[in-house]
A = this chain, B = another copy of it.
């Protein structure tokens, strides 16, 4: 019997290396050759595990999105109405989250003019907003938020803040330590949530 290789595990492994490289040099500068070298495989690895370089990149993008989602899930499992925890799970407050944002930022260059990537990006934003809305509803159910609050609008503002913070922190991490991100976030959230 031939040695069985866990196909999906290998795909994730390659995508992990890709994410590392993308965060370092940007998505457009990542060549299959460099990627293969960094991963310790031959150049044919992409054709082998992915139909295309494009598919590899898409997979890498989605993997980062799933990681973010998992972070949010971990928060909500403990407390389904932990809004601040949810938002913080999304912000680039540590290296892992910072790297995910680097990846997304880098992909945005591709997403301009690439309908499929743009759609992916739209979907990710929409999905995240839905999750935030759920948290808001949970808060309302727990009396932490007015039941007639405009959940959609609040969620939009919150996600707007997240994206805005991440963009600025992404290109100027020195100017945006975790505390400063939290400072802006809390200033903005204060009037939103204390409206029981």
Contacts and interface: CB of A to CB of B under 8 A. Distances in A.
Interface in A35-83: none
A180 B155 CA distance: 13
B157 A125 contact: no
Interface string A116-145: 001001100100000000000000000000
Contacts of A29: 113
Interface size class of A (residues with CB under 8 A): 35 or more
Contacts of A184: 153, 156-157, 160
Contact of A161 (B28, B102, B153, B161): B161
A26 B113 contact: yes
Interface string A140-175: 000000000000011011011111110110111001
A20 to B, nearest CB: 12
A125 B173 CA distance: 13
Taking the full assembly, how many copies of this chain does it contain?
Answer: 4
Contact of A165 (B23, B107, B160, B180): B160
Nearest to A103: B112
A119 B164 CA distance: 18
Contacts of A107: 109
A28 B163 contact: no
A110 interface: yes
B160 A110 contact: no
Contact of A153 (B22, B164, B172, B183): B183
A96 interface: no
A28 B111 CA distance: 11
A184 B164 CA distance: 13
Interface string A184-196: 1001101100000
